Amino acid sequence: MMANGGDTRTQLGLRYLALGVVALVMLYPLLWLVGASFKSNGEIFTELGFWPDRLDFGAYAKGWKTSSEYTFATYFLNSFAIVVPRVIVTVISCVLVAYAFARFEFVGRKLLFSIMVATMMLPLIVLRLPQYLMFRELGWLDTYLPLILPSAFATDTFFVFMLVQFLRGIPRDMEEAAQIDGCNALQLLWYIIVPLLKPAIISVIVFQFIWTMNDFMGPLIYLASVENYPVSLALKMSIGATEEVEWANVIAISVVALVPSVAVFFMAQRYFIEGAASSGIKG
Amino acid sequence: MYENRRLGFFFVLPFVLGVVGFKLFPFVMSFALSFTQYDLMDPPEFIGLANYQELLTQDPLFRKSLGVTLLFAALAVPMRVGFALFIAHVLNFRLRGINFFRSAFYIPSILGGSIAIAVLWRFIFAKHGLVNLLLTKLGFEPIAWLADEHYSMWTIVLLFMWQFGSAMVIFLAALQSVPASLYEAAECDGASKWQQFLRITVPLITPVIFFNMIMQMVHAFQEFNGPYMITEGGPLYSTYVLALYIYDQSFRFFNLGYGAALSWVLFALVALLAGISFWSSKYWVFYSGEKERAT
């Protein structure tokens, strides 16, 4: 309103033009990727346009089969076998811990909260090597435990922080009323807090889903046998296997690999972009 | 606050266990390992400061890698944060279709870390890739993005910048909290849009600029997927960031002690830069009245 009060039509037009150009440049690579998945090897490297001449699903079929002994069905199932449990334990542990931080007074609360914020800035790469040694000692290598179990202890502190920030913005009236009616702390959590936290919880689910799908270094370090590979590692393998890569196949599989994340994003975007912004979390 | 202290502690217990077991213990262990020589076969052997001595005085690859990492962060972080602020500023003019643009700009930031996007980037910057096709069409010479050590850095910097959306939504939320009355007053005094941006918007959102700079810096120093997948650290180690060097020493050559020392150097570097930022913040970051904002 006032912010663009002095605007002429030209200025408004320029603004849309700038945004449109940026959006095109940003999204064109993705459009091109989808288009290229239908093209032949030759066309991929000669055509600027993204629209394919014909719809050839051959690359999808071949890419899906892979040159390894497993198909991408295995790799997708593996990915989901990591993602689904991890998302579940993340939500449960982070909500409980955030509830404690936001609504309870206990010894060491301030200190623990500072530690939590500090670990958000701790470069994870410092922890990779000793964690690898720990998991090796426990006999967990080449299983999904190293990728899932730490999340059950609210170690993804971004999410705890985000939920605490969100909870701080929720007035306590309803909880106080429910307390007077005789609700205990767990009932309060389940009947009052969780419904109110829904948008924030959806953000946690979406972020954790997508980040875990994208995770590459974790599986790279902890998983050894191909039968356990998630999509990210399998995709890397399909490039590294031979010198003569069937690029069309790799492109087709890349498109498929992005589908779950894109789908989750669009299903939940109206909740989670807001959640992401209000908490100052980064993606 | 609820009175039940024990219950609160009970709820926070998973976090206490997790942070000690999966964060603090490995953190200390990595420090201890950095004073040893360890190859997984024989037990770790204490060698004092030898690892640090070696990397500081006898390891040209470390120096190269450090330089590459600093260059990457120095290019990628300001570009991402600056661009995010610029786009958020343009979006903040209550345009129609803001939601469409916001989503469009946000998508790359959630997909950008995936291997599929790294694959895409290899195609875009390949010899006959999308960028070179465009350059040729426009009458320029094609550039050997991935094979020329002067250009390889730009491929991973551009990938980092492409994911500006997450910083953008944080800026957008902050911009929307700047009171419109300030702009109205400035408008009356005849301030141009550019002056309003520099004199009103930027000072009021310095805490958010600060937050984004710090978080993006931490991310930039750990960048791994891009250099690993797109340029493979090359050519001529021109994109061989420290994260890649740490990975190679730790998990390919199994020089675990040396890898730990390298990772502690990276940690010290990030901590130092974060420390400098926090120290400098009192000169340029202004928090508005409420105390609760500071948490």
A136-181: pLDDT as tens digits: 999 999 999 999 999 999 899 889 988 888 888 888 888 888 888 8
pLDDT band at B294, cuts 50/70/90?
Answer: very low
Q: Which of A126, A210, A281 sits opposite B30 (nearest CB)?
A: A126
Interface probe with B: pick from A129, A187, A262, most Cβ of B within 10 Å: A129
pLDDT band at A3, cuts 50/70/90?
Answer: very low
**Are residues A11 and A85 both part of a single domain?**
no
Residue A4: predicted pLDDT = 46
pLDDT band at B264, cuts 50/70/90?
Answer: very high
Average pLDDT over residues A197-210: 89
Pairing mode, strands B36-37 and B45-46: antiparallel
**Are residues A195 and A229 both part of a single domain?**
yes
**Are residues A8 and A44 both part of a single domain?**
yes
Flag whether B31 is in a domain: no
When divided into structural domains, chain B yields a total of 1
**Are residues A36 and A174 both part of a single domain?**
no
Return phi, psi of residue A222, to 5°: -90, -25
Which of A21, A85, A227, A228 is closest to A143 using CA atoms?
A: A228
pLDDT band at A283, cuts 50/70/90?
Answer: very low
**Are residues A230 and A190 both part of a single domain?**
yes
Highest mean pLDDT among A193-207, B188-202, B248-262: B248-262
pLDDT band at B68, cuts 50/70/90?
Answer: very high
Domain that holds residue A194: 67-279
pLDDT beyond 60 at A281: no
Flag whether B88 is in a domain: yes
How far, in Å, CA of A160 to CA of B167, rounded? 19
Of A280 and A259, the structure prediction assigns the larger pLDDT to A259
The b/e string for A33-52 (b: 16+ C-beta within 10 A; e otherwise) is bebbbbbbeebbbebeebeb
Give the gap in angstroms from C-alpha B150 to the nearest C-alpha of chain A.
Answer: 23
> Could you say which of A62, A81, A108 is where a domain stops?
A62
**Are residues A56 and A78 both part of a single domain?**
no
Q: What percent of chain A stands above pLDDT 90?
A: 30
pLDDT beyond 70 at A5: no
Which of B10, B18, B8, B295 is closest to A100 using CA atoms?
A: B8
Q: Is the peptide bond before A260 cis (omega within 30 degrees of 0)?
A: no
> What CATH number should be reported for the domain holding residue A206?
1.10.3720.10
Flag whether B80 is in a domain: yes
Give the gap in angstroms from C-alpha A257 to the nearest C-alpha of chain B.
Answer: 7
Average pLDDT over residues B189-196: 83
Token digits for A8? 């002429």
The b/e string for B2-35 (b: 16+ C-beta within 10 A; e otherwise) is beeeebbbebbebbbebbebbbeebbebbbebbb
**Are residues A54 and A82 both part of a single domain?**
no
> Could you say which of A62, A82, A100 is where a domain stops?
A62
Flag whether B14 is in a domain: no
Based on the number of CB atoms within 10 Å of its own CB, is B78 exposed (0-12), middle (13-18) or buried (19 or more)? middle
| Residues of chain B with C-beta less than 8 angstroms from the C-beta of A246 | none
pLDDT band at A132, cuts 50/70/90?
Answer: very high
The residue whose two tokens read 């972009």 is A273
**Are residues A25 and A148 both part of a single domain?**
no
Residue B207 at interface with chain A, using a CB cutoff of 8 Å: no
Flag whether B44 is in a domain: no
Give the gap in angstroms from C-alpha A166 to the nearest C-alpha of chain B.
Answer: 13
Q: What percent of chain B stands above pLDDT 90?
A: 34
Residue B295: predicted pLDDT = 37
pLDDT tens for each residue of B204-228: 888 888 888 988 999 999 999 889 9
pLDDT band at B69, cuts 50/70/90?
Answer: very high
Flag whether B26 is in a domain: no
Taking the model in full, what pTM does it have? 0.88
Give the gap in angstroms from C-alpha A129 to the nearest C-alpha of chain B.
Answer: 7
Domain that holds residue B254: 59-294
pLDDT tens for each residue of A9-27: 787 888 888 888 989 988 9
pLDDT beyond 70 at A188: yes
Average pLDDT over residues B81-85: 93
Q: Which of B8, B33, B165 sits opposite A129 (nearest CB)?
A: B33
The reply to whether residue A125 touches residue B113, judged by beta carbons under 8 angstroms, is no
pLDDT beyond 60 at B114: yes
The residue whose two tokens read 């998508």 is B107
Average pLDDT for chain B:
86
**Are residues A159 and A258 both part of a single domain?**
yes
Residue B292: predicted pLDDT = 43
> What CATH number should be reported for the domain holding residue B168?
1.10.3720.10
Flag whether B9 is in a domain: no
Residue B166 at interface with chain A, using a CB cutoff of 8 Å: yes
Residue B278: predicted pLDDT = 84
| Residues of chain A with C-beta less than 8 angstroms from the C-beta of B103 | 269, 273
The reply to whether residue A106 touches residue B128, judged by beta carbons under 8 angstroms, is no
Interface probe with B: pick from A128, A175, A239, most Cβ of B within 10 Å: A128
Chains A & B: contacts with CB separation below 8 Å:
295
The reply to whether residue B109 touches residue A283, judged by beta carbons under 8 angstroms, is yes
Q: Minimal Cα distance from A222: which residue of B? A: B251
When divided into structural domains, chain A yields a total of 2
**Are residues A50 and A72 both part of a single domain?**
no
Q: Minimal Cα distance from A171: which residue of B? A: B1
Flag whether B122 is in a domain: yes
If contacts are CB pairs under 8 Å, which of residues 85-114 in chain B contact chain A? 87, 90-95, 101-111, 113-114
Residue B260: predicted pLDDT = 93
pLDDT band at B293, cuts 50/70/90?
Answer: very low
Q: Minimal Cα distance from B252: which residue of A? A: A221
